[in-house]
Amino acid sequence: MKERLSKLAILDTLLAKKEPLSKEDMGLDYSYTQPSLSEEYGDNSADSGYSQMEADILLDQTEIEAARRQYPPQPEVEFGFPKECYCGGEPLVATSYTRNDPGRRYYTCENIDDGDCHVWKWWDVAATKEIIALSRHCGHLSDKVDYLTCVSDYDTQLNQPLFLRIVHRLSTEVEYFQPSEDATGRSSLSPLQKCTAAIRQLAYGGGADTVDEYVRLGETTARKCLHQFTAGIIHLFGDEYLRRPTPEDLERLLQIGEERGFPGTVGSIDCMHWEWKNCPTAWKGMYSRGTSKPTIVLEAVASSDLWIWHAFFGAPGTMNDLNILDRSPVFDEIINGNAPEVNFYVNGREYHLAYYLADGIYPKWATFIQSIRLPQGPKNCLFAKHQEDVRKDVERAFGVLQARFAVVRNPSNLWDKYKIGNIMRACIILHNMIVEDERDSYTQHNASEFQQGEDVDPTFVVKGTTNLGNTMDRRAEVRDRQGHQQLKEDLIENIWVKFGHLPSNYNV
- Beta-carbon contacts of 175 under 8 Å, excluding residues fewer than 6 positions away, are none
Written as one string, the DSSP assignment of 45-74 is -TT-HHHHHHHHHHHHHHHHHHH---PPPP
Q: How many CB atoms lie within 10 A of CB 508?
A: 18
User: Taking each helix axis from N to C terminus, what angle separates 417-442 and 378-404, rounded to the nearest 10 degrees?
Assistant: 110
Greatest CA span in the chain, whole angstroms? 146
Can you tell me the distance from the alpha carbon of 307 to that of 309, in angstroms, rounded to the nearest whole number?
6
Long-range contacts of 502-508 (CB under 8 A, 24+ apart): 505/378, 505/382, 505/385, 508/378, 508/381, 508/382, 508/385
- The domain spans of the chain are 2-67, 75-126, 152-240, 244-505
Give yes or no for a contact between 477 and 366, defined as CB atoms under 8 angstroms apart: yes
H or E, element range at 171? helix 160-173
Per-residue model confidence (pLDDT) at position 205: 85
Can you tell me the distance from the alpha carbon of 425 to that of 488, in angstroms, rounded to the nearest whole number?
33
Per-residue model confidence (pLDDT) at position 154: 44
Per-residue model confidence (pLDDT) at position 444: 47
b/e sequence 244-260, b meaning 16+ C-beta within 10 Å: ebebebbbbbbbbbbeb
Can you tell me the distance from the alpha carbon of 49 to that of 26, in angstroms, rounded to the nearest whole number?
13
Q: How many CB atoms lie within 10 A of CB 202?
A: 23
SS3 category, 96: strand
pLDDT 10s per residue in the chain (508 long)?
555 556 556 656 655 554 554 545 444 444 444 444 444 444 444 445 557 777 777 777 766 665 555 545 444 445 567 777 777 777 888 888 888 888 888 888 877 777 677 777 788 887 887 787 777 667 655 655 554 454 444 445 567 888 889 999 999 999 999 888 877 777 888 888 888 889 988 988 878 777 777 777 888 888 999 999 999 999 999 999 999 888 889 999 999 999 999 999 999 999 999 999 999 999 999 999 877 899 999 999 999 999 999 999 999 999 999 999 999 999 988 888 888 888 889 988 999 899 999 999 999 999 999 999 888 899 999 999 999 999 999 999 999 999 999 999 999 999 999 999 999 999 999 999 999 988 765 544 444 444 444 444 456 566 555 555 688 888 999 999 999 999 999 999 999 998 887 776 645 5
Give yes or no for a contact between 106 and 125, defined as CB atoms under 8 angstroms apart: no
Give yes or no for a contact between 245 and 253, defined as CB atoms under 8 angstroms apart: yes
Number of H helices, E strands in the chain: 19, 11
Give yes or no for a contact between 268 and 405, defined as CB atoms under 8 angstroms apart: no
Q: Which phi and psi angles does 267 have, rounded to 5°?
A: 140, -175
Can you tell me the distance from the alpha carbon of 508 to that of 188, in angstroms, rounded to the nearest whole number?
65
Enumerate the H helices of 152-262 as residue ranges.
160-173, 191-204, 212-215, 219-241, 247-259
Give yes or no for a contact between 307 and 442, defined as CB atoms under 8 angstroms apart: no
Can you tell me the distance from the alpha carbon of 454 to that of 447, in angstroms, rounded to the nearest whole number?
16
Give yes or no for a contact between 159 and 110, defined as CB atoms under 8 angstroms apart: no
Indicate the Cα dihedral angle 420, 153, 221, 188, nearest 10°.
Answer: -140
Per-residue model confidence (pLDDT) at position 321: 92
SS3 category, 308: strand
Can you tell me the distance from the alpha carbon of 330 to that of 298, in angstroms, rounded to the nearest whole number?
12
3-state secondary structure 112-126: HHHCCCCCCEEHHHH
Can you tell me the distance from the alpha carbon of 208 to that of 407, in angstroms, rounded to the nearest whole number?
12
Per-residue model confidence (pLDDT) at position 63: 66
What is the bridge-based pairing of β-strands 295-302 and 308-316? Answer: antiparallel
Can you tell me the distance from the alpha carbon of 425 to that of 418, in angstroms, rounded to the nearest whole number?
11
Give me the half-sphere count of Cα atoms (radius 13 Å) on the Cβ side of residue 359: 11
Least Cα distance to 368 among 483, 242, 216, 219 occurs for 483
Give yes or no for a contact between 38 and 50, defined as CB atoms under 8 angstroms apart: no
- Amino acid 206 reads G
Per-residue model confidence (pLDDT) at position 45: 47
Can you tell me the distance from the alpha carbon of 336 to that of 472, in angstroms, rounded to the nearest whole number?
9
Can you tell me the distance from the alpha carbon of 292 to that of 453, in angstroms, rounded to the nearest whole number?
53
Give yes or no for a contact between 356 and 368, defined as CB atoms under 8 angstroms apart: yes
Least Cα distance to 323 among 359, 273, 361 occurs for 361
Per-residue model confidence (pLDDT) at position 454: 41
Give yes or no for a contact between 107 and 126, defined as CB atoms under 8 angstroms apart: yes
